[in-house]
Amino acid sequence: DQQVKQNSPSLSVQEGRISILNCDYTNSMFDYFLWYKKYPAEGPTFLISISSIKDKNEDGRFTVFLNKSAKHLSLHIVPSQPGDSAVYFCAARNYGGSQGNLIFGKGTKLSVKP
């Protein structure tokens, strides 16, 4: 059973507009959430994270929102740039759980068109 879900496999956005990537989770024991960006032929790179005790974290053009009651988080990129085109993975940590460090979603491929 997939505990972290990214229901949109792909997203296309115009340069300068907002990109919103969504992620849903099922395990209420997750205490930390992260977003990673992955370019082809490279490993994922950490983008931004949020603790379960917060509802928003901002870093430059990137903002992550967490809605614990809905078990939903989203990544906002404003303004979107062509260099943001990549696959974005949502990940969650089950602190003290038996499934290891991080549980990842399957990713959303973002395409930012000039």
- Decide: is 10 part of the binding site for another protein (CB under 8 A): no
When asked if residue 99 is in the footprint of another protein (CB under 8 A), the reply is: yes
Question: What burial letters (b/e) apply to 4-33, b meaning 16+ CB within 10 Å?
Answer: bbbeeeebebeeeeebbbbbbbeeeebeeb
The answer to whether 110 and 22 are in contact (CB under 8 A) is no
Q: Is 54 in the site for another protein (CB under 8 A)?
A: no
Q: Out of 23, 91, 110, 112, name the contact with another protein by CB under 8 A.
A: 91
Which residue number, 25 or 107, has a Cβ lying nearer to another protein?
A: 107
Number of alpha carbons in the 13 Å side-chain half-sphere of residue 109: 4
Q: Confirm or reject binding of residue 30 to another protein (CB under 8 A).
A: no
Binding site for another protein (CB under 8 A): 32, 34, 36, 41-46, 49, 89, 91, 93, 95, 98-107
